[in-house]
Structures are given as structure tokens and as C-alpha cells.
Amino acid sequence: MGVRGRRRRLAAALAVAGLACTTAACGSGSTSAGGGDPNTLEVWTRSDPDSAATYDRVFAAFTKKTGIKIDYQPVVNFDQQLQSRASSKDLPDVMINDTALMGSYQSQGLLKPIDPASIAGHDQITAKSWASTVGLDGRHYGIPYSRQAMALMIRKDWLRKLGLKAPTTWQQMLDVAKAFATRDPDGDGKKDTYGIVAPGSAQNGYAAWWASSFLWQGGAKVIEPDGRGGYRPAMDSAAAVRTVTWLKDNLFCGAKGLLQPGAVSAVTGTATNFRDGDAGMYMTGPYNITTFDATPGKDKYEVVPAPAGPAGADVLAEGENVYFGARTGKARQERALAAFLVSPEGQRIAMTSVDGHQPVVRIPTNSTLDAAEVRHDPRWSVVQKAYETASEQFPNAPDFAPIKQDTADSLNAVFTYCGSDVRSSLKELNDTLAGDLKDQDLLK
């Protein structure tokens, strides 16, 4: 895999780089619906119709408050459509998308740098959140909008039936998983239940996304700063070898039933066993709370902190930023929208569900708000505490996309082939990651 896979991604990156544009160029010749009206902002989010309905409420409140109109475009194939618009030098005015994409967008010249002091209410956003919007050049390229951290969703009715407690360590998690797989927790007289849900496919980097919390809990890193303005790969460390070996031997190649069938080919869209009622644990994001409250049902599961590994209980933190497209002419309107989005009013609207629609702000970036209080749901305090005190996120100043994908490819291969040698596999991965960093001129 290694070099060939990296070269394929490098070729794709170079093709994308050909679409990159300067601030002035991306603002010329706008063909978007709101491009000719200085009081209309074209705004994109990566959203399905369920989330888009919540954004509709947010933008309607903003327009009512300010008179600035929003041409809202919920886009499912966000990156593909964005590159198409970049090639025509016609970017959206404002985008809301993943924090982890900032490095990729900034390296392509798709984003306008932002002075935090220019955003009203900037001082209500914590330094930790602002730090996640700093590019390699030391400038900010996003405004923190929503944050989240992984948590363990677990069937509390199964725990009660089997006389068990929610696990707080890796070993306890294994013991509970074995019980869920073998002791008929649903009472149907069949061995048709599974311990843990794992989206372990290499597709879209899922294996790295899911395994990242375990890597950190095991004391491992994917890449790390080198102290000289660059990064170095770290997946050949003793901690990484121990952690990946533990995952392979105990979950993917351990006793039958600990993971759902087909875990090595599952993505989040197909790893539905917790929702379907035949798996008992799922380490996932809090966006699933609304879904799981419907099925399997709010009364059947609970949200608890991640079980701790040898190095602690840190989990993956993610989120969304507000980005300004690299164009000119609407700075005042863009800043007004960003200020509303991070204000207590804007964040409250985005955190509430109406008619069952998915909230789009999970943990508020406005520090005056408490997620559990706004939602009247104490389960969200578990998520907020995890984000604030026990979480890490992928480095977002580099372009992390190829790094995550190469890591997922390697981990998926290790998890798929139980006879694989973990140490040599991770050494090969480390060499590949070094190439990824060198491609970005980050390997000093």
C-alpha cells in the first residue's frame, strides 16, 4: 500500500491544488444566487435534510434580527461541489463544515483569514476552541461553531438484566462485551446479540476515526509536533504497537460476537446494530443521542464516559467551524452572521430540536452556555465534560485527510488479517505518514 497509495493521494491533491485561487480571484465573476446582492450571503453547510431544517430556523432568526438575507445551500457532497465552485472562481460567502478540513481548505487558498477580535462576542469563545482554528502560518481561518466529544452509549437495560455496571476500564469493557454476546441480554433465548459496534472500514478513514480514542487512551499519537514548526509520524511507537495489538487480539480477532458481524467493512451508515437493538455498546458522537432516543429508546440506554486505557480516558473531539470563502465585498455581512451563530441566541436555536430534527450545535462554543441546561438533559454534561477535560482532536493545521486515510488503510488491514504482524505494519504506516508530511513540507 504505502508509497503507491500516498502517490495516488498526492496526485489527487495536486489536481485539487490546481483549483486553488487567491482571495481576489475567488471573489470575481460570482454566479451564485446571492452573488449580485451585497445584502445576501450564500451559505453552505454539509447537511442532510434533517439537519438543514435546523439551519433554516437559525438563518431565519438571523435575517429577522439583521435584515441580511441568506441563500442557504445544504450540500451533501460538500467537498466535490466546493472544488467545482473553486474551479469557476466562485466560492460561497460562508461555509460551515468540519474543523479537521481547515488545513486542507487553507492550503488550497479557499479560505479568508479571520481576526477573532473582528467577531462580536469573540471573548465568549474559549482559548481552547480558538486554538483549533489556527493555521500553519499562525493566522485564524475559522470561527468555532460547534464542538463534540465521543462517549460510550450502552444498553442500561441489558446491564440491569445481567447484574452488571457500566465499564470504566478497557478490561471491564471487554468483560461486559463478552456478557452481552453470550448471556442473552435481550431474553429471546438466542445468541444473537453483540458486545460492541465498530465502524472499522478503511472507507473515508473510518477505521482511524473510530480507533483514535483508543490510540490516545493507550498513549499513542498518529503524528505529533516536532518542536520546530513541523510534524513527525508517531505510529511506530511502543504505545501504538501495544494499543493496536490490543484492539486486534481482543476485539477484531477475539471471541466471536464481541464486535458486530462485518465490522471491518462497516461505516457509520451501515453500523446500525446499536440502533437496531442487537448490540450493547457504541463509542460514538453525541449527534446519535437524538437517533437513539427514538430507537432503541431513551429508556433503554445511557451515555457514560469512555472506559480508560493505560494512559487515561481521552476521546476524539470534533466539531464544525464557520469559514469565510476567499472572496471580497461582504466582510461586514459575514462577520455579522458569524457573530450571530456564536451568540447565546444563535447557539440556543441550533442546539434545540423541533419536530425531531437534528440539532446542529452539540457542545456550544459560547462559554456562557451549558449543553445539559439548554437541552434539559443531564446526559449532555457527560459529553461536555469529556470535551473540556478529556479529549483530543486531529491536528487541523496540516491537511490531515491523507494522514487519516493512510492510517485507516493500515489499521483496517491489521484488523482484517488476524495473522498480520502489528509492529511491521505500523512501521510501514509510519514511513507512509512521513511521506504525507514531506508532501506538505512539514517533515523537518
Q: Are 116 and 24 in contact (CB under 8 A)?
A: no
**Average confidence (pLDDT) over 293-313:** 98
CB neighbours (10 Å) of residue 39?
Answer: 13
Residue 212 or residue 358, greater confidence: 212
pLDDT at residue 319 greater than cutoff 90: yes
Give the C-alpha separation, 286 to 151, whole Å.
7
HSE-CB at 214 with a 13 A cutoff on CA atoms is 25
Contacts 24+ apart (CB under 8 A), 87-92: 87/19, 88/29, 88/31, 89/21, 89/25, 89/26, 89/28, 89/29, 90/26, 90/29, 90/30, 90/31, 90/32, 90/35, 91/21, 91/26, 91/325, 91/326, 91/327, 92/32, 92/42, 92/43, 92/44, 92/325
Bond into 364 cis (ω within 30): no
The CATH homologous superfamily of the domain defined by 151-316+399-439: Periplasmic binding protein-like II (3.40.190.10)
Q: Mean pLDDT score of the chain, rounded to an integer?
A: 92
pLDDT at residue 16 greater than cutoff 80: no
Instruction: Give ranges for CATH 3.40.190.10 in the chain.
Output: 2-147+317-392, 151-316+399-439
pLDDT the model gives residue 315: 98
Report angle CA 68, 31, 399 to the nearest 5 degrees.
85
Tens-digit pLDDT profile for residues 117-140 = 999 999 999 998 999 999 999 999
Identify the CA nearest to 209 among candidates 285, 153, 135. Answer: 285
pLDDT the model gives residue 444: 80
Residue 70, strand partner residues: 41
What ranges make up the beta strands (E) of 108-165? 143-149, 151-155
Q: Which three cell numbers stand for residue 241?
A: 504497537
CATH class of 2-147+317-392: alpha beta
For a pLDDT cut of 70, what percent of the chain falls above it? 92
Tens-digit pLDDT profile for residues 235-279 = 999 999 999 999 999 999 999 999 999 999 999 999 999 999 999
Give the C-alpha separation, 340 to 329, whole Å.
19
**Average confidence (pLDDT) over 185-206:** 97
Q: Tell me phi and psi for residue 347, to 5 degrees.
A: -70, -35
pLDDT the model gives residue 35: 56
pLDDT at residue 327 greater than cutoff 70: yes
Tens-digit pLDDT profile for residues 162-172 = 999 999 999 99
Give the C-alpha separation, 188 to 427, whole Å.
46
pLDDT at residue 5 greater than cutoff 60: no
Give the C-alpha separation, 314 to 178, whole Å.
24
